[in-house]
Structure 1
Amino acid sequence: MLPLPTRFAGIILAFAPLFVHRSWRHAQLLLIGAILTPGRRTVTSVLRILGRAQERRFVNVHRILNRAAWCPRTGSRILLRLLVDAFAQRGPVVLGLDDTIERRRGKRIAAKGIYRDPVRSSDSHFVKASGLRWMSLMLLAPIPWAGRVWALPFLTALVPSERACRERGRRHKPLLDVGRQLALQARRWLPGRDLILVGDGGFSALQFLDAMRRGGITAITRLRLDAALYDPAPPRPLGTIGRPRTKGARLPTLAARLAAKDTLWRKVVVPGWYGAGARAIEIASDTAVWRHGGLPVVPIRWVLIRDPEARFPPQSLLCTDPTREPTQIVGWFVRRWTVEVTFQEARAHLGVETQRQWSDTAIARTTPCLLALFSIVTLLAARLQARQRRRVAAAAWYPKPCPTFADALAAVRCAIWRERTLATSPRRSARTKPRFRLPASWVYALCHAA
């Protein structure tokens, strides 16, 4: 087994109860090898980077993903506990929920479908992609040594396509149902904490928002400017017969409030506005009831946002807790952009979309493990010394004031390689200086094509 720094042992060993003793040895190889491997994250690449290219029983490492009995959901709970203890010990726990497409092809990948590619598409250009759809729940927490908020994945679920469910005789579960189950699972794991769930406009559905409200989760999403808003239902007089009222008088739409001259705007400064620093904006807010025929009635606080310099179009947000402050609602919502950053970093540095598994079990485990590796690397980097984790790969053409995930990954790799070098150095003093030989794993990482 590759020697590890002592400061990493507490985090790595926290996942040991998921496996039996024999499987845990192979699981450690996959975990450490996935951190050290550049390029494609295949099991063979992991074995090569660890110097086990001649391992005759290499199939045992493959079986960790496609056959071994271990519970990924229990691992997600362990990871969430580690993240909360490290980065969200006090205050509300802000979670981000979003889906992404993993571009994959192959006849034996049963769960794949044809979806709109959110990365390559725009409002005027539609691009389709064949792949797997994943729903991921992340902790949106400020990283002190990085100077910004990072989205740390801890629970990811596969959303099979409607065609795949129909061929297998299963009921298709929509995205909102999967997102609701993930959020309520986090609620059960953190029973005493104040949970804030941030999502994009796709989660602005009354059934989803009502489930979050009844589950004790404050949901913040975008709101349509033409949404039907009402006053709360008036008190019911005594002796009244019939069905009780669910709404009061109809309120003007947010589009009408945006154009009205008597709307009261308040100027606020939001720090960390989509990674561009502090931004001065104008907001207007009030409470209302959002209702649609045949759907649950949800009391909300709406927040209307506009830019005094007209650098972005007006937008509106909703919060299922009407008692929240409008400025805090906007501050929590702007953390959502880090979810897209995490998806991009996972593709660029952790090898998402480079896997080659076709087994259903391996597919359902590999991508969630790679996304969770983003959070594990962040936890390991937090255990390093300050000068090590704050080291940035800056250049004359690329000034970088704070470390990014690429710098954190490089610092963790450096610590692991340094420990291995010290562990394999000769203990007795030689009379002649030994000839330096580049280890086989270094040759594979540095010299072979990515």
Structure 2
Amino acid sequence: MLPLPARFAGIILAFAPLFVHRSWRHAQLLLIGAILTPGRRTVASVLRITGRAQERRFVNVHRILNRTAWCPRSGSRILLGMLISAFASRGPVILALDDTIERRRGKRIAAKGIYRDPVRSSDSHFVKASGLRWMSLMLLAPVPWAGRIWALPFLTALVPSERACRERGRRHKPLLEVGRQLTLQARRWLRARDLVLVGDSGLSALLFLDAMRRGGITAITRLRLDAALYEPAPPRPPGTIGRPRTKGARLPSLSDVLADASTGWQATVVPGWYGAGEHTLEIASATAVWRHGGLPIVPIRWVLVRDPENRFAPQALLCTDLDREPVQIVSWFMRRWSVEVTFQEARAHLGVETQRQWSDKAIARTTPCLLALFSIVTLLASRLPTRERTRVTAATWYAKPKPTFVDALAAVRYALWREQASVLSCRQRHRPKRRFVLPRPWAYALCQAA
């Protein structure tokens, strides 16, 4: 087993209760190897980078993903607890819920489907992709040494395609139903904390918003400009016969409010506007009841946002907590931009979409583990000395004022390799000086083709 730096042991050993003793050795090998491995994140690559290319019982490492009994949900709870302690110990806990497509092909991947590729598509260009759909719940928290908000995944679930469920005789769970289950699971884990969920327009559904409101979770999403908004139902007079009213008079649509010259706009400076620093916006807000026939009735606070310089189109947001300040709603929604950054970093540097498992259980475990590895690396980097974790990969032609995830991953790898090198030096202390030979894991990382 690769030696661990003392400052990393507390974080990595926190996951030991998920496994029996023998399985934990292989699971720890997978975890450390996945951090050190460049390029494709396959079990074979992990064995090579950890110096076990000649391991005769290599199949035991594969079984951690496709056969061994351990609970990923319990691991998610452990990871969330460490993230909360490190980055969100005070104030409301801001969560983000979003889906992503893992491009995969193969007849033996049963849960795959054909979806719109959100990365390659645009408003005028539609691209379809064959792959797996994942719903991920992330913690949106400021990372002090990075100087910005990071989206830290801790709970990810597979959403099988409708065709795959039909072929297996199972009920298909829509995307929002899976998202509702993930969010309410986080609510059960954090009963004493104030939870705020941030999402895109895909979460702007009355059934989902009503479930969040009843679960004590504040939901913030986009809102259609033509949504049917009403005044609250008037008080019911005594002795009235019939069903009670559920809504009052119809309110003007938000598109009409946007075009109305009498609308009162408030100029507000919003910090961190999509990574561009402070930006001045005009905001208008009020409360209403959002209702549609046959669906739950949800009281909301709507917020209209427009740019005085007309650099982006006006948009509307909603919040299920009527007492939240409009500026606070906008600033929380702006944190959602880091979700797309996390998905991109996981693809580029953690090997998402490069794994090659065919077993259903291994497929359901590997991608959530790789996304959670983003959060684990961030936790490990936070244990490093300030000089090491704030070191940036800069050049004359590329100035970088603050460290990014690439720098955090490099710092953690450097600490792991340095620990192994120090152990090798101690073993050879009393031996005569020999000709330097590049260790096999280093040769694989440095010399093999990517």
Q: Do the two structures share a fold, i.e. TM-score over 0.5?
A: yes
Q: Which runs of 5+ in 2 are unaligned?
A: none
Matches within 5 A, 1:35-74: 35-74=35-74
Partner residue in 1 for 2:240? 240
Matched, 1:183 2:183: yes
Q: In structure 2, what is the Cα distance between the partners aligned to 1:162 and 1:428?
A: 59
Q: What residue in structure 2 maps to residue 412 of structure 1?
A: 412
Structure 2 equivalent of residue 318 of structure 1: 318
Query: Which residue of structure 1 lines up, in the alignment, with residue 385 of structure 2?
Result: 385
Q: What TM-score comes out, normalization by structure 2 length?
A: 0.99
TM-score with structure 1 setting the length = 0.99
Aligned counterpart, 1:444: 444
Report the 3-state secondary structure (helix = DSSP H, G, I; strand = E; otherwise coil) of the residue aligned with 1:57: coil
The CA distance in 2 between the partners of 1:278 and 1:404, in whole Å, is: 20
Residue 307 (structure 1) shift:
0.2
Which residue of structure 2 aligns with residue 135 of structure 1?
A: 135
Is it true that 1:100 corresponds to 2:125 in the alignment?
no
2:307 counterpart letter in structure 1? D
Q: Which residue of 1 is the match for residue 166 of structure 2? A: 166
| Alpha-carbon offset, residue 396 of structure 1 | 1.4
Q: Aligned letter for 1:436?
A: F
Query: How far, CA to CA, are the matches of 2:120 and 2:331 in structure 1?
Result: 28
- Counterpart of 2:124? 124
- 1:447 and 1:71 mapped to 2: Cα distance? 37
CA distance in 2 between partners of 1:376 and 1:370 (Å): 10
Distance 1:122 1:183 in 2: 28
Q: Identify the residue that residue 148 of structure 2 maps to in structure 1.
A: 148
Instruction: Please list, as runs of the form range in 1=range in 2, the aligned pairs for 1:25-36 lying within 5 A after superposition.
Output: 25-36=25-36
Structure 1 match to 2:285: 285
How far 1:208 moved relative to its partner?
0.3
More displaced, 5-14 or 434-443? 434-443
* Secondary structure of 1:425 counterpart: helix
Letter of the structure 2 residue corresponding to residue 118 of structure 1: P
In 2: Cα distance, 1:297 partner to 1:397 partner: 55
Deviations 1:145-172 (A, max 9, x none): 0000000000000000000000000000
Alignment pair present for 1:360 and 2:368: no
Q: What's the secondary structure of 2:232's corresponding residue? A: coil
Cα drift, residue 223 of structure 1: 0.2
> Residues of 2 paired with 1:274 and 1:287: CA distance?
26
Q: Distance in 1 between matches of 2:422 and 2:125?
A: 54
Give the Cα separation in 1 of the matches to 2:51 and 2:348: 24
Quick check: 1:423 aligned with 2:419? no
Could you tell me how far 1:17 is from its partner in structure 2?
Answer: 0.4
**Structure 1 residue ranges, 4+ long, deviating more than 6 angstroms after superposition:** none
Matched residue type, 1:83: L
Shift of 1:426: 4.1
State how far apart, in whole Å, the 1-side matches of 2:136 and 2:180 are: 11
- Partners of 1:124 and 1:428 in 2: CA distance: 63
Task: Write out per-residue CA displacement over residues 245-295 of structure 1, whole angstroms, 9 at most, x where no aligned residue.
Answer: 000111111100100011000011111111111111110000000001110
| Equivalent-residue separation in structure 1 for 2:189 and 2:409 (angstroms) | 28
For residues 152-205 of structure 1, the C-alpha deviation after alignment (integer angstroms, 9 at most, x for no partner) is 000000000000000000000000000000000000000000000000000000
Residue 225 of structure 1 corresponds to which residue in structure 2?
A: 225
Determine the C-alpha separation between the residues in 2 that align with 1:202 and 1:262.
31
Q: Distance in 1 between matches of 2:448 and 2:28?
A: 24
Letter in 2 for 1:318: L
Residue 114 of structure 2 corresponds to which residue in structure 1?
A: 114
Q: Which string of whole-angstrom CA distances, capped at 9 and with x for unpartnered residues, describes residues 200-237 of structure 1?
A: 00000000000000000000000000001010000000
Query: Displacement of 1:366 after TM fit?
Result: 0.1
> In the alignment, which residue of structure 2 is the partner of 1:346?
346
**Equivalent position amino acid for 1:321 in 2:** D
Amino acid at match of 1:405: F
Amino acid at match of 2:208: F
Task: State the 1:433 CA deviation.
Answer: 3.8
The percentage of counterpart residues that share the same residue type is 82
Partner in structure 2 of residue 435 of structure 1 = 435
The whole-number CA distance in structure 2 between the counterparts of 1:108 and 1:64 is 20
Q: Distance in 1 between matches of 2:157 and 2:374?
A: 16
What is the CA distance between 1:434 and its match in structure 2?
2.7
Flag the 1:428–1:344 CA change in 2: closer, same or farther, 3 A: closer
